[in-house]
Amino acid sequence: MNLPRKCFLLGAGGMGMAPLAIYLHGAGAEVEAFDDSFREPVRSLLERSGVRICSEPVPSFLPDIVVRSSAIAEDLPALDEWKEQGIPVLRRGDFLADLTAEHKVLAVVGSHGKTTTAAMLAWLLRKADFPCGYLVGGLFRDTSIPPGAHSDSPWVVIEVDESDGTIDGFSPTATLCLNCDWDHTTQYSSQRGFRDTLGGLFSRTKNAIIIPEDNDLEDLAQASASCSTITYENSSDPGAYNASNAAAALAAFCYLGLDPALADFSDFPGLARRQAVLFKSSNRLVLEDYAHHPTEIRAILAESANHFPDRRLKVVFQPHRYSRTRDLAAQFAEELSVADDLFLLPTYGAFETPDVDGSVEKMMGYLPPRLRKATGVFSSFYDLRKSIGGVSPEGDQVLFLGAGDLDRHAHAFASWQRSKGDAWFAWSDYLNPRLSKNCILRMDEPLADKTTLRVGGSATAYAEPSCSEDLRELVDACSLFDFPFFVMGRGSNLIVPDDGFAGLVLRLVGPAWRDVRLVANDTFVVEAGTKLKEVCRLACEHGLAGFEFLEGIPGTLGGALRMNAGAMGGETCDLVESVTFLMPNGLVREIAGDKLTVGYRICAEAEEGVVLRARLKATGLSSKNEVRQRIDEFSKKRWASQPRESSAGCIFRNPTDDSAGRLIDHYGLKGECLGAASISNVHANFIVNQGGATADEVISLIRRVRGKVKDSTGVELQPEVTLLGKSWKEALN
């Protein structure tokens, strides 16, 4: 296959796809990438490498090819459009095999150890200035070293994945095979199945097979391959796991004709999530490792026991995939039984359908009675942290093992150790490496000048995420540490209490949050931080009717959707074709407009999730002059009927068949003051700040108005404005 000029990658946030994106761009292709769960530092790494990140699964160009992660189903409806246009849609492994078919491929294969070994080899070759491309399925701890790199040399080192069967498409020049344990049990029904797959790869290998000596892989190579076999000495000590990987990398290094004296591993930076020490004190070590197979668990636990034989061994384990957990449950339990204390997280399903037989609770049944009785399954980081407890009298090691989202708990626990009990310090310490460099994060941030009423105190934390990945990390950190958060738009329809907000305030104000794109002749895609006035202006430019009422609402799209803001007889949700939300579980969900649960000043889904963007559709087409005329009419009416002083907009909801402003005005409450807070003389449903008002004055005035109206009419007015972090029921009683 020739290099495609324009490549679109779907599911590009994973460590199979991200290195490929970097490799393709380095080769000269134009690359755009989408993933609904990009995380730092992967996103920034791709952007620095020249890969354009898409906020939706739609590239800016017509691609020559679409490459998908195996986690994305082949029958996904979104892929049909590309197929109908005759654009190839290939799995990552199939595409890579075709792309490198004419290269000299050194394939690194096996059940485990591939990523570390491939990384060691690529790193050695870089140090030795050996011209060679590479693709490694993990991040170097030194993020200046990319996980993928292109070279004009014919040689390329590829970590070849066996999990999806695409290994069958490769015909390497040389194959470095590390082991042959049974794994990926839905792809291979037995160890024999994987062994046969490796035998097929050996038979297609052109020049050399490199394997550990005194291993049954020698018999397989002799039976399957016509090329030469090279063996290397492999440590039999399970605690010398990295030494085995280094020995394999060195053997491949020498095969390429390089002097073994150049192979110095002393300053190898290591890989993220591989034997990564997250915290270390005189009596406690916190370590994270990607071990998600019984053999890997045995190796890391043996190595830990060798290093600190007298310390208590506390293991936090998260099974990865229901199929693996179901089929290897007894082996997992056997290896984990060496722990002094065991803490379990729910099985991380990846893209598999939940299966009770693959649950972590089912696996617990194989544990010895000592551990079974004392082991718990934890979903809450708070509960997990409390259960792990303080340092044991003899000192301890806390090992976080697994390949799912266990790293969240591991890094949060390490941050907690550094914080010495300061929860907000732990929260910010946890976030520091996870946010992009353009994300703003500050503590003890004044909020009054960020609201239209201009009253209130400070937020414990304040952030301006630069992208959706920053937002996801901030929200996820609040979930982990049980901290409240609030997304603030322009601060209209909001009262901040004088004692502030004991949580995180988020504002979507950067360039990425203000983008508006015309995607059809009557439809915009609008990011959540876009001012409604800007949407109205663009609608006027394109002659699109129905947006005119937005001109009078001083807010952003996200805030307007959350409360289904309206004016002049129109409501925001009337325009919605679909809304994309970041949900509390971290997933991105698109909901059609007619499926939203909306009412007067409420959209239930926007109360639960955070609005990322929406598709807004015009009610019809019109001329620019006609749209402009309606906007001017609405604007004139608004300025004539609403105060110009600082306010939060309408304070009360309109009761059924009546107007809150009319009721307040009827009973002579216009102009009533409390301190510098005053009921507007222009519109009685507005409370204005005459300069220096406090939130307590505003709230007290609201309480007074409600009381007088209720005493006079029996109608109990309900606040429409949001009271940040507090309940109106409590504030008004």
Give the span between the Cα atoms of 506 and 562, in whole angstroms: 14
Query: Where in the chain do CATH 3.90.78.10 domains reside?
Result: 645-731
Listed residue (513, 521, 514) closest to 543, CA to CA: 521
Within 13 Å and on the Cβ side, how many CA atoms surround 652?
A: 28
Which CA distances in Å does 32 have to 5, 39, 542, 655?
11, 16, 28, 51
**CB count in 10 Å sphere of residue 216:** 11
Looking at the domain that runs over 514-628, which CATH code has it been given? Answer: 3.30.465.10
Bridge partners for 440 per DSSP: 464
CA atoms within 13 A on the CB side of 642: 18
For residue 179, give the amino acid letter.
N
What is the 8-class DSSP label of residue 488? Answer: E
Output the pLDDT for position 646: 93
Tell me, what's the pLDDT at 40? Answer: 86
What confidence score (pLDDT) does residue 549 get?
81
List, for residues 688-705, the tens digit of each pLDDT value: 999 999 999 999 999 999
pLDDT of residue 169: 96
Instruction: Please report the DSSP string for 371-387 in residue order.
Output: HHHH-EE---HHHHHHH
φ and ψ at 717, to 5 degrees?
Answer: -65, 140
Q: Which CATH architecture has domain 431-507?
A: 2-Layer Sandwich (3.30)
Strand order, beta sheet including 6-10: 52-53, 30-34, 6-10, 65-68, 89-91
DSSP string, 62-131: --SEEEE-TTS-TT-HHHHHHHHTT--EEEHHHHHHHHTTTSEEEEEESSSSHHHHHHHHHHHHHHTT--
Which residues lie across from 614 on neighbouring strands? 526, 579
**Half-sphere exposure of residue 141, counting CA atoms within 13 Å on the CB side?**
15
| pLDDT score, position 239 | 47
The single-letter DSSP state of residue 163 is: T
1-92: in CATH 3.20.80.10: no
Quote the mean pLDDT of the chain. Answer: 92
- Superfamily of the domain at 100-271: Mur-like, catalytic domain (3.40.1190.10)
Whether cis (ω within 30° of 0) applies to the bond prior to 484 is no
Instruction: Reduce the DSSP state of residue 691 to 3 states and report it.
Output: coil
Residues 6+ apart with CB under 8 A from 80: none
Cβ burial of 28 (10 Å; 0-12, 13-18, 19+) is exposed
Strands of 133-135's sheet, edge to edge?
148-149, 133-135, 155-159, 104-109, 174-177, 208-212, 228-232
3-state secondary structure 650-675: ECECCCCCCCHHHHHHHCCCCCCEEC
Q: What would the DSSP string read from start to end of 332-352?
A: HHHHHTT-SEEEE---B-TTS
Distance in angstroms (rounded) separating the CA atoms of residues 231 and 209: 8
Quote the tokens at residue 16: 């199979």
Left if phi > 0, otherwise alpha if psi is -120 to 50, otherwise beta: which for 713? alpha
What is the predicted pLDDT for the residue at 554?
78
Beta strands 485-488; 501-507: pairing state: parallel
Alpha helices in 205-279 (DSSP H): 217-224, 241-255
Q: What is the pLDDT of residue 235?
A: 62
Rounded to a whole number of angstroms, the distance between the first and last alpha carbons of the chain is 73
- Mark the ranges of the chain whose per-residue pLDDT is less than 70: 235-241, 566, 568
Q: Could you say which of 2.30.31.70, 3.30.750.24, 3.30.1600.10, 3.90.190.20 is the CATH number of the domain covering 276-421?
A: 3.90.190.20
Pair type for strands 133-135 and 396-402: unpaired
The CATH 3.40.1190.10 domain(s) of the chain lie at 100-271
Q: How far apart are CA 539 and CA 60, in angstroms?
A: 22
645-731 topology per CATH: 3.90.78
**DSSP H or E stretch at residue 473:** helix 468-481
